Structure 1
Amino acid sequence: MKLYYFPGSVAIASAIALNEAGMAFETQKVDFASDEQKSPAYAAINPKGRVPALIIGDHILTETGAILEYIASQTPGLMPTDAMEAAHVRGVMFYLASTMHVNHGHKARGHRWADKAESHADMTAKVPTTMTVSAEYVETECLRGTYILGDTACVADPYLFMLCSWLPGDGVDLEPFPKIRAFMAAMEDRPSVKKMRDTGML
């Protein structure tokens, strides 16, 4: 397996999960500074021009949720067997993909939704508010304890960790969110996250 990533991006959630699962993989940095993600060579891997992309034999997975689902399918314990608990895990991942990541994207990726500079500026100005709303939802609805499922980490925790790591940079004060702060501290203490710090991917 080979994971295409950019440091600090959502792609690191997949790397953390792969390490949690004990799965061997190679990494390939995509150089956003030189717009490598827009190159024909990378378009052949991920035509969306984004990370992550995970090559598994002759297959390529390109969405964080899909990659995490694959990892969980190969690793007992990362996705609960109870249907309602599994639905909660997936519900968190869908929220992160459809709402929280989009909120964050409005800060530096306004060109995806609008053409005018004033529109981009307006979206950027709104990010502290929308990301605070997301933090409130994570605090009250997503975390059922130290982790998403309580005391046990699951495949979605690396995903939540990466998006919550962006909160301070998005102008969100974490002081009112003790569960998020405890979650982040617990994740930072996990060997899978420490390895990302050591390799400079995070």
Structure 2
Amino acid sequence: MMLKLYYSPGACALASHIALEEAGAEFELEKIDLKQGQQKTPEYLAINPAGVTPALRTDEGVLTQNLVIMGYIAQTHPEAKLADVDSSFEFGRMQAFNGFLASSLHPLIGRALFSRPPLEGEAKDAAIEAGMMKYALVEDSLLQGPWAMGDAYTVADGYLYVFTRWARQAGLLDPARYPKLNDHLDRVQARPAVQRALAAEGIDAV
């Protein structure tokens, strides 16, 4: 089975890229330049009509959404142990964590940091505050430690890393307030698979 991941460097598709590297999967990468509007071309809209990354082409068709793609990778590469695929409850618990990141944290921090045109003044401050409340929820309640789900690394860790990476780049991940998130970021970033994904996308560790 040959897989192809459509991604944009440093964007949220990095989570699916990391999952593929962790799984030891055979895959190709195709860069979609969001700044140039490549995601809105007819060619890409034929792959993902939503016009966003990631998209994963499989032998059976195309999957979209990080949560789905990462779950698929974990299930099709069970030997990599990227999720507890034998327990419906534990798999669901991981997907609940990923769903929170996708539906609650990502939209808020994405709006704060990447709105076009950029937010300014009180609007930006309010957006950042709303986003950081979600990081605080992960720090104080959701992050099990040392990994997102507890003792075992899962695809949820690569997903959380995307967002803590953004926050650290923006100077928002205060080590005094978010010690667990900072420790988690460093722990994930040190993994060889993550370093390979960063190098392939031409982006730096933070």
**If the TM-score is normalised by the length of the shorter chain, which range does it land in?**
0.7 to 0.9
- How many aligned residue pairs are there? 197
- Counterpart of 1:45 in structure 2: which amino acid? I
TM superposition shift of 1:106:
1.5
Residue of structure 2 equivalent to 1:130:
130
Give the deviation of 1:38 after TM superposition: 0.8
For residues 180 and 18 of structure 2, what CA distance do their matches in structure 1 show?
A: 21
- Tell me the equivalent position of 2:160: 160
Q: Determine the C-alpha separation between the residues in 2 that align with 1:91 and 1:123.
A: 30
**Aligned counterpart, 1:22:** 24
2:8: which partner in 1? 6
RMSD: 2.2
Q: Determine the structure 1 residue equivalent to 2:180.
A: 179
1:194 aligns with 2:198: no
Q: Which residue of 1 aligns with 2:33?
A: 31
Distance 1:13 1:118, change over 3 A: closer
Match of 1:104?
Answer: 109
Runs of 4+ residues over 6 Å off in structure 1: 117-121
Match of 1:93? Answer: 98
Closer/same/farther in 2, CA of residues 19 and 56 from structure 1, 3 Å limit = same
- Name stretches of at least 5 consecutive residues in structure 1 with no aligned partner: 112-116
| Residue number in structure 1 paired with 2:71 | 69
Q: Distance in 2 between matches of 1:118 and 1:66?
A: 30
Q: TM-score, normalised by structure 2?
A: 0.86
- Give the Cα–Cα distance (whole angstroms) in 2 for the partners of residues 119 and 196 of structure 1: 30
Unaligned runs of 5+ in 2: none
Between the aligned residues of both structures, percent identity stands at: 32
What is the alpha-carbon distance in structure 1 between the residues aligned to residue 113 and residue 180 of structure 2? Answer: 27
The two structures have a TM-score, normalised by structure 1, of 0.88
Structure 1 pair 171/194, CA: closer, same or farther in 2 (3 Å)?
Answer: closer
Q: Contact conserved, 1:128 with 1:170, CA < 8 A, in 2? A: no
1:66, distance to aligned residue in structure 2 (A)? 0.7
Q: Spell out, residue by residue over 1:90-124, the C-alpha distance to the aligned partner (whole angstroms, 9 max, x if none).
A: 1110101111001022235657xxxxx89887543
CA distance in 2, matches of 1:189, 1:102: 27
Shift of 1:135: 1.3
1:130 maps to amino acid: A
Structure 1 CA distance, aligned partners of 2:160 and 2:30? 23
1:141 Cα deviation from its structure 2 partner: 2.2
Q: Which amino acid is the alignment partner of residue 99 of structure 1?
A: S
